[in-house]
């Protein structure tokens, strides 16, 4: 459900941005993310539905090791769409209601519902209506942190980082420290996006703190969650 771009094919100016990302990864920014209850995974240039993010950090709950149902490994794209629809719904939904909401064929919806029940992601009540299980039992990602690296074009970085808000907990733009300027800061202060900088060495600075967003806010967040579980199951 999530695919990544081949970083070895990167050329010209983007290779400088790649080096900036690599230097940032070698900093101690992520050290605090590995704890007794949480671990983290870094994904380079995944396609998010809004383009390719330079770097995504998934900070996830280690309970996934005990709670992952192997039937989730067989879920399809439409299954995740229905799961997200039920997550966004305030009330339980019948198959007929889902058909009215989304336009799927009834037979297709019955097959999807069967797979979601087998994967222990939804439950059925006595009125033959379905609802999602408690989120803390099935969604194992604590934070999704995205990094967009640019050398000078901060307006493009701002645009890309803004797109990342739609699936992230925190969205950052990363720049060389020497290229931080007041015009950039003024523009970013009007948004929910943070700014990170890298100096000549391996140290980073958080110039501007991002606002934390609620997840899962989109299908992309669910895709990362399912990818994480499938990778863990191996």
Selection from 72, 82, 139, 85 nearest residue 110 by Cα: 82
Q: In sequence order, what are the beta bridge partners of 122? A: 132
With a cut of 50, say whether residue 234 has pLDDT above it. no
Query: What's the pLDDT tens digit per position in 215-233?
Result: 999 999 999 999 999 986 5
pLDDT at 8: 64
Residue-level pLDDT at 131:
98
Q: Please give the residue that has the higher pLDDT: either 33 or 5.
A: 33
Query: Which residue's structure tokens are 């992309």?
Result: 220
76-92 pLDDT per residue, tens: 999 999 999 999 998 99
Considering the chain, what is the average pLDDT of its residues? 93
Query: Residue 119, by phi and psi: left (phi above 0), alpha (psi -120 to 50) or beta?
Result: alpha
Task: Report in angstroms the alpha-carbon separations of 79 from 30, 156, 165.
Answer: 33, 34, 24
Q: Which domains does the chain have, with CATH numbers?
A: 7-64+141-208 (3.40.1350), 69-138 (1.10.10.10)
């Amino acid at each position: 459900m999530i695919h990544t771009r081949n970083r070895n094919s990167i050329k010209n100016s983007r290779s400088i941005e790649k080096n900036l990302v690599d230097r940032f990864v070698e900093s101690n920014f992520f050290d605090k993310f590995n704890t007794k209850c949480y671990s983290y995974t870094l994904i380079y240039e995944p396609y998010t539905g809004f383009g390719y993010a330079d770097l995504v950090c998934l900070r996830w709950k280690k309970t996934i090791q005990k709670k992952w149902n192997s039937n989730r490994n067989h879920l399809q794209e439409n299954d995740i769409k229905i799961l997200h629809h039920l997550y966004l719904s305030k009330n339980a939904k019948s198959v007929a209601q889902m058909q009215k909401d989304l336009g799927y064929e009834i037979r297709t919806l019955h097959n999807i519902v069967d797979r979601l029940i087998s994967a222990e992601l939804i439950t059925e009540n006595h009125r033959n209506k379905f609802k999602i299980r408690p989120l803390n039992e099935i969604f194992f990602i604590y934070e999704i942190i995205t990094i967009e690296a640019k050398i000078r074009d901060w307006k493009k970085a701002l645009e890309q980082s803004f797109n990342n808000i739609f699936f992230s907990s925190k969205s950052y733009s990363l720049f060389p420290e020497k290229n931080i300027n007041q015009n950039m800061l003024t523009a970013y202060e009007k948004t929910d996006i943070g700014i990170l900088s890298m100096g000549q060495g391996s140290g980073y600075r958080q110039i501007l703190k991002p606002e934390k967003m609620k997840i899962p806010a989109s299908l992309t967040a669910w895709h990362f969650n399912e990818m994480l579980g499938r990778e863990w199951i191996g």
